[in-house]
Structure 1
Amino acid sequence: MVVCTSTAGVTIMCIIAWISSSQSNAIGQRESSHHLGICGNMSYIRTGNSCCNGNLTMGLSHLVADCCESVAYNRLNEICCEGSVFIPSSAQVQCCGKALFLPTTHLCCDNKLILQEENHVCCGAEPYDNRTHHCCVTPELLVKPLNEKCTTDQTDSDNKTTTTCTPPKVTEFMCGSEPYDPKEEICCSGNLYGLSALIKCCGEHAYTPFEDNVLCCNGTLHRDVPKKSECVGGIVYAPSNSTCHLSTRPRLGEHCCGRQPYKPDMHICCNGHRHDRTDGTFCCGSEVYDHKNTRCCSGHRYNLTGKSECCGNLLLEYNSNKTCCSSSTHAILYDTKTNHSCCGHYYYNTSLWSCCAEHLHPTPSHNSSHAKNRLQPLMDLIPGICNKTVLFGRVESMALDTSHRHIVLKVVVVSKDPWLHVSLNHCRSPALEIGMTYLWEKIKTEYKPLSISVDPVSDINMFYTVCYHHKCQKGG
């Protein structure tokens, strides 16, 4: 039996069916044009494959892949050295020519490996102690004592200062006042950086998970933070520090669906397209469908052949050898591998990385536990969610102790005692944002988030409306 109510602590059974991302007119996998790409003379689905120099790599999404010449590889678990792909023994491993090395034990000077000594860095092919010497950039690289100056100017044969000019790039994309190519660079608040599948912006700075002791917290990049530090609600928590560092007006009784009037008890409105309720009760893109035999994944319809769930706009069968990793921005299918787990939409090797609240650390932890659940778009949860006790809750505040994230949650659309205090296992729970509203499920006395963030007005209104019709169909 489905019950729709707005009292805190009472079962709330509703769902949204009118939110979607694209139109789908046929059963089965549908890919809109922005999901398709051309690789050589073949078209391919970008969300599940990659293209490098005209060569297609199947089963690895371009969202998490980099190119190693003509081969796509997963930058998280593999490394490319001079056109060859290797599997590193540690997330900190780097290339020195075609050799792999750890910067904690060796230096790579001009593609030559040298044992690391304290305070030693490279000057071309020569290592030097930066406490006693410095590197001079003259017509050739020279190591000189600190008390000897380098030449101040490099001159040509006419004793004129040489200036090198780089012609500006011709592009329609601007980063601040500079043009740039988004296929090659990433723009972080006006600053340009070289593009990689794993590079992320944190305010005006760029960083990758490979940088140890680095943490992005609400747009501020913190360096030299203690290991296992976490960002919760804009505050950096360290393990040893618990302190806070229509155009047409409808007639009476009618609503608008695009430019058409409709009655909710007779019609269903899907992305501005009106349909009779006899044709179906849920929306998938701009179309309507019967959820008993069909599944809708982000606007794409599939025939149901067994137990399955949505992974973005793809359908994941439970008995398939695939794993879905998702975050608030992406959902990606991977081939299932041993000793691998999800961290947001990344699929990482547990011998190279550890994951906490969707944040990767290049320090594997053999005793770490993995995420219990992943957040999904609200409409992808139907119709199963209609039989669960759920509520909408807005995250008002968060705090972190040794292992748990404590949340002050404001239950939306209630008038009596709207506050809940929720405790989640920090590392095993998805990342949440203060001020955002999520769909939560109540299981006995505990709560867990189910959906990615929702619109607190339109989504909730449609949620209640669709749930009411679902209740009537079941005779509840």
Structure 2
Amino acid sequence: MERVTMTTPLLMFVLLALPCYSATGQINRFGLPVSAHSRDFYVRSPGDNFCGKVKFVISGFTCCERQLHMGAEQSCCGNRSFYLTQASCCGGQLTLNVSQLVSDCCGSRAYDPLNQLCCDSQILIRTQPHSKCCGKELYNEDNQLCCGDVVKRKVLTKMSGHHRCCGDHQFDQRSHCCCHITEPSYQLNPKPLNASCCAPAIQEVLHTIPPAQTGQHMGIDQSSPKCMPGEKPCGQCACFNPTTERCCVNPTSLQGQSYSHDQTCCEGTLCHTPDKTAQGHYHGASFGSQVYNPDINICCSGKLSNRVPGKNLCCGTTPYGVEDRGVLCCNQTLHRVVEDGYQCSPGGYLYLPSRDMVCGSHVHLNDPGKHCCGEDTYDPQYEICCNGHKHNRLRNVSCCGGKAYYHSSDQMKCCAETLYNLQVQDRLSEEAQCCGSVLMEAGSTQTCCSAPGLDLVYPTQPGFTCCGHRYPNSSLWSCCAGVLYSRPETQTTSKNMIPGPRLLPLGDLKTEVLCYTEVLLGTVESVSMKTNERSIVMVNAMYMLASRGHVNPLPSPHYVTLPDHCSSPVVEPGNTYILMKIPFSDTIRFISDLSDHSSPVHSILSRC
């Protein structure tokens, strides 16, 4: 099996996703809320391109604890590598077939909290949408109680909505209280309200301020300072008047201090105009900030320099002027150049266009007809560039990630820039289907759940069905257009959980469907709802019969109506789709999202 880098972007926000994470200095490449447990796995191979003492290419390998693994942009679980979409890492142990994007950890095992719960280090099947743990058991707090101490817990059926726990028993708080009995041994027992031990409990209830009346429940931020009328909080310990002052917050301590409007906050360091006293002395600023006078100093990236007329720009920590001769600022570094014509490359490298060609971080001498391919140059007449790797240009050769292959071959399959050899997989091309970058197993052992830009594979389970990229138990959850809702206990079936048409990759569309059926191709401009129908406005729409080369442009805008909003897949404005009418019906079903194809028409015609 040949693997190349996965670059599938994730663009969809879904309900019931866990908190979003983006570490300092990093970008969450998935673009949507993901499991908090995936936060430790965005950092992959070291940035110096060395694995131990071995130099490696990051576009083809991943380094985990000095061990090199084939496949790029993987995460590490100890010294093992894995893809976040195909496995999870908990306590240094890998769990396969559960994506880190939707999983949580139960000790060293991963589980899907949508359908399971971790109770006392045991993974249990969720029986209700909002089940909770009671020791090693599950309970529903609507009609059950979890009573007992931490060591021994048991589930009791609520006798009424007024019943509460008292030790391992329950009591009606309208007629009883829970008493601490110390003799002969410490225990909790329900007693009538007229019992002497109930007096403290009654007084406590009478003097307790309801939570709704506390500042927290009244929308007051308890961490904010109490400010005078007309003032606003500045950090966690100061106030300021927004009409006469400005607020500077120290990003490390989150403490703030107010200053007059002629003072300045400089990149998190407080650099301000000091107040001059009657004796002519300048007061210093607090929070460790430097004191400077903007009439005689300039502050560049927290460094103070003497101000020189005309030098009002900063290049890193160095001040300079736009009219200065012989200097050029590239990537916050000031260069001295001896002749005119030098420029900065997009990567911040200094070069002379008449002599040099910059490819990535490498500067090459200009060669007529050559272009950049990654860090190297290539001749597009005789070579093809695939993700920074050059290959000989041959007939019917296309790119799949960084590899070149014959797209008409029955022996190779490209899944989201990951290339598979079907002979190695012992698979026939007709039964090979992609789920994002994963080649699915033959038969019905796996299910692919798709959201715009995100595809995850799950082991097929009876009674489960896709809702966006999640795979919920349909007896617990209902789904509408990729959004999950908890299902009432009395409702066990719903038409909304009937799987709608899946957005298949272009490579999975059968030739007779793609080439010999009239399909509608267009870009979604907007989507709206009317009762249970979904109305779609498309632009640049056309009907195509690829086998005959027929293309019939349609008036713009073109309107499409889907009769059932909930059972239809989510479509994103700005994305381009193929739609197809069901034979002998006006019903439209979606086939493929072509937004990642630079020329959708060419992509279709090249297949036919």
TM-score, with length taken from structure 1: 0.59
Q: What is aligned with 2:207?
A: 148
Residue of 262, 287, 291 corresponding to 2:403:
287
CA distance in 1 between counterparts of 2:514 and 2:389 reads 24
The one of 600, 603, 607 aligned to 1:463: 600
Identity %: 31
- 1:310 deviates by 0.8
Equivalent pair of 1:79/1:88 in contact (CA under 8 Å): yes
CA distance in 2, matches of 1:311, 1:275: 27
Residues 82 and 420 of structure 1: CA distance in aligned 2, closer, same or farther (over 3 Å)? same
Separation of aligned partners in 1, 2:166 and 2:570: 43
Unaligned runs of 5+ in 1: 1-18, 134-140, 151-175, 180-245, 472-476
Asked if structure 2 preserves the Cα contact closer than 8 Å seen for 1:20 and 1:284, the reply is no
In 1, distance between residues paired with 2:389 and 2:512?
A: 25
- State how far apart, in whole Å, the 2-side matches of 1:392 and 1:69 are: 48
What is residue 308 of structure 1 aligned with on the other side? 432
Matched to 2:538, the amino acid is: L
Letter in 2 for 1:423: T
Deviations 1:25-65 (A, max 9, x none): 9xxxx9634324224x5444443222322333232222222
After superposition, the C-alpha distances for 1:122-155 in whole angstroms (9 at most, x for unaligned) are 899998979xx9xxxxxxx9664664257xxxxx
Report the equivalent of 1:323: 447
Q: Does 1:299 align with 2:440?
A: no
Cα distance 1:314–1:86, how it changes in 2: closer, same or farther (>3 A)? Answer: same
The one-letter amino acid paired with 2:595 is: V
Alpha carbons 1:122, 1:128 under 8 Å: kept: no
Please give the alpha-carbon distance, in whole angstroms, between the structure 2 residues aligned to 1:42 and 1:281.
Answer: 34
2:528 corresponds to = 398
Asked if the contact 1:23/1:299 (under 8 Å) is kept, the reply is no
The answer to whether 1:449 aligns with 2:579 is no
- Take 1:351 and 1:466, find their aligned partners in 2: how far apart are those partners? 41
Letter in 1 for 2:456: I
Q: 1:390 to 1:82 in 2, by over 3 A?
A: same
Q: Is the 8 A contact 2:145 2:164 kept in 1?
A: yes
Distance 1:441 1:80, change over 3 A: same
Aligned partners of 2:522 and 2:578 also within 8 Å: yes
| 1:371 lines up with 2:499 in the alignment | yes
* Pairing 1:75–2:113 present: yes
Give me the whole-angstrom Cα distance separating, in 2, the residues matched to 1:270 and 1:314: 20
CA 1:268–1:343: 2 relative to 1, 3 Å: same
CA, structure 1 residues 272+359, in 2 after alignment: closer, same or farther (shift >3 Å)?
A: same
1:336-369 Cα offsets, whole Å, 9 max, x none, are 1111111112111122212221111110541324
Match of 2:481 among 349, 357, 363: 357
Matched-pair contact (CA < 8 Å) for 1:399–1:406 = yes
CA contact (8 A) 2:434 2:505 kept: no
- 2:230 paired with 1:103: no
Q: Distance in 2 between matches of 1:383 and 1:278?
A: 23
Query: Per the alignment, do residues 342 and 46 of structure 1 end up closer, same or farther by CA in structure 2, a change over 3 Å counting?
Result: same
In the alignment, residue 451 of structure 2 is paired with which amino acid? S
* Bigger Rg over Cα: 2
Of 551, 561, 566, 1:427 maps to 566
1: distance between equivalents of 2:592 and 2:70?
23
Aligned residues of 2:132 and 2:140 also touching (Cα < 8 A)? yes
Distance 1:276 1:102, change over 3 A: same
Structure 2 unaligned residues grouped into runs of 5+? 1-5, 9-57, 62-68, 178-199, 210-249, 254-356, 360-365, 543-551
Aligned to 1:440: 578
Instruction: Output the TM-score relative to the length of structure 2.
Output: 0.47
CA distance in 2, matches of 1:66, 1:324: 20
Partner of 2:229: none
State how 1:6-405 maps to structure 2 within 5 Å. 32-39=71-78, 42-108=80-146, 115=158, 117-118=160-161, 144=203, 147-148=206-207, 259-263=377-381, 268-278=384-394, 280-291=396-407, 292=409, 293-304=411-422, 305-306=427-428, 307-319=431-443, 321-363=445-487, 365-368=492-495, 369-376=497-504, 387=515, 389-402=519-532, 404-405=533-534
